[in-house]
Amino acid sequence: MSAFMEQRHLGRTGLRVSRIGLGTLTWGRDTDEHDAADLLKTFWEAGGTLVDTADVYGDGESEYLLGRLMEGLVPRRDLVISTKAGSVPDPDRRFDGSRAHLLSALDASLSRLGTDHVDVWHLHAFDPHTPLEETLHALDVAVSSGRARYAGVSNFCGWQLAKAATWQLAAPGVRNRVASTQMEYSLLQRGVEREVLPAALDLGVGLLPSSPLGRGVLTGKYRKDATPPDSRGASDHLAPFVEPYLDETAGHIVDAVATAADGLAVTPLQVALAWVRDRPGVVAPIIGPRNAQQLTAALSVETLSLPDEICRALDDVSAPVHRYPDHDWSTL
């Protein structure tokens, strides 16, 4: 395995991960075993280590497929495996953060993955019906029992992340710190900058951005109202996922990314991915390529650093409207 990809610490922990992560949302559903094998091998050979999955991806098939590939293709010791628990296919209760559900889900994930531990275990979402201290205790049990090395959260808003991370820090040596949070973050979705990212930076929680390419829109493939037949926008079950980012506002941002890419003689994908990868607090964007060719194109961003003036221009064109209470009223 080559190891040219830069490694970063996951939040304020000793765990180091590749600064690009490989997502497996479509594995076992849209991505078959052959393509998944090509993806994992290409990622590993490029020095990639962080592979992200969840117990609900493909109804468990994503974890099962990753486990099979670790058994015969890529050594388990070379990978940092992240999975998630807490989402449930129940229309009356979308998330279950009870200790009983979470620890059972973790055991099932380990069985499908064919390993005795995951490196990072994330709560998939906040459960308002379970006391947070019970949910967080499940993370502590997972780590103390050796079933998880580190623990994090996903899809927690600012106050939820701050409360969880502060609770864990209140009893050092007894509770395990929140190492990371997974949140959608891209030039088309900068909502985390309002409260989640400041909380993460203050509390030493590393951010793992999901959908860093704006659900594929920032690649420019949908410009001029085009929808490539092999894209997610043309898929019956993924088109609603992409559609919110096909409006006029997003179009202006995509045009700016394309202009920057032309000026730098690179691709819009590279510009968009480099921008989010190097934002303060970001550890590793999680990308979800369909095939090894797309992955190779994304990994080529390793050698790209955007000039400051390009970053400022992209910041300006994509800036979200944050006023009260974020505005510095002391200057008035």
Collapsing DSSP to helix, strand or coil, 116 comes out as coil
Collapsing DSSP to helix, strand or coil, 286 comes out as strand
Give me the catalytic one of 57, 150, 185, 222.
57
CA distance 36 to 139: 29
Length of the chain: 332
Question: Rounded to the nearest 5°, which phi and psi values hold at 306?
Answer: -75, 135
Question: Rounded to the nearest 5°, which phi and psi values hold at 172?
Answer: -60, 140
Contacts of 93 (CB under 8 A, 6+ apart): 129
Residue 20 DSSP one-character state: S
Instruction: Name the residue among 239, 208, 234 with its Cα closest to residue 80.
Output: 208
Of the CA atoms within 13 Å of residue 245, those in its CB half-sphere come to 30
Q: State the helix-helix crossing angle for 61-72 and 33-45, rounded to 10 degrees.
A: 60
Contacts of 290 (CB under 8 A, 6+ apart): 26, 30, 31, 35, 230
The residues with which 189 forms a beta bridge, in sequence order, are 186
Q: Reply yes or no on whether 57 is catalytic.
A: yes
Q: Catalytic residue positions?
A: 57
